[in-house]
Amino acid sequence: MIGSAFAKGRDLLRGTLLFSGLSDQDADAILASAHRTRYPARATIFVKGAPGQSMMAILQGRVRISVPSSEGREAVFKIMGEGEIFGEIALLDGKERTADAVAITACELLVVERRAFLPVLRRRPELCIRLLELLCERLRRTDQQVEDLLIRHFENRLARTLLRLGGAPRRDRAQGQQDRDPRCRGSRTTRLAFGGGRQLSARSGRQRSGAG
pLDDT of residue 201: 45
Q: Where are the beta strands (DSSP E) in 20-117?
A: 35-39, 44-46, 54-60, 63-68, 74-80, 85-86, 100-103, 107-113
Q: What does pTM read for this prediction?
A: 0.59
Phi-psi region of 80 (alpha: psi -120 to 50; beta: other; left: phi over 0): beta
In a domain, 117, yes or no: yes
In a domain, 54, yes or no: yes
Q: In CATH, what number is assigned to the domain containing residue 56?
A: 2.60.120.10
Q: Is residue 80 over pLDDT 80?
A: yes
In a domain, 210, yes or no: no
In a domain, 41, yes or no: yes
In a domain, 173, yes or no: no
Give residue 134's domain range: 4-150
Euclidean distance between the first and the last CA atom of the chain, given in angstroms as a whole number: 132
Tally of domains in the chain: 1
In a domain, 109, yes or no: yes
Q: Is residue 136 over pLDDT 80?
A: yes
In a domain, 97, yes or no: yes
- Alpha carbon distance 74, 68 (integer Å): 4
- Alpha carbon distance 173, 158 (integer Å): 20
Cβ atoms 55, 87 nearer than 8 A: yes
Most confident segment among 21-25, 103-107, 138-142, 184-188: 103-107
What strands lie across the sheet with 85-86, from one edge to the other?
A: 35-39, 107-113, 54-60, 85-86
pLDDT of residue 200: 42
- Alpha carbon distance 174, 199 (integer Å): 30
In a domain, 188, yes or no: no
SS3 203: helix
pLDDT of residue 181: 55
Cβ atoms 102, 63 nearer than 8 A: yes
pLDDT of residue 93: 84
List CB contacts of 15: < 8 A, sequence separation 6 or more.
59, 82, 83
pLDDT of residue 44: 96
Residue 179: band (very low, low, confident or very high) from pLDDT cuts 50, 70, 90: low
Residue 27's Cβ-count burial label (10 Å; 0-12, 13-18, 19+) is buried
Q: Is residue 45 over pLDDT 90?
A: yes
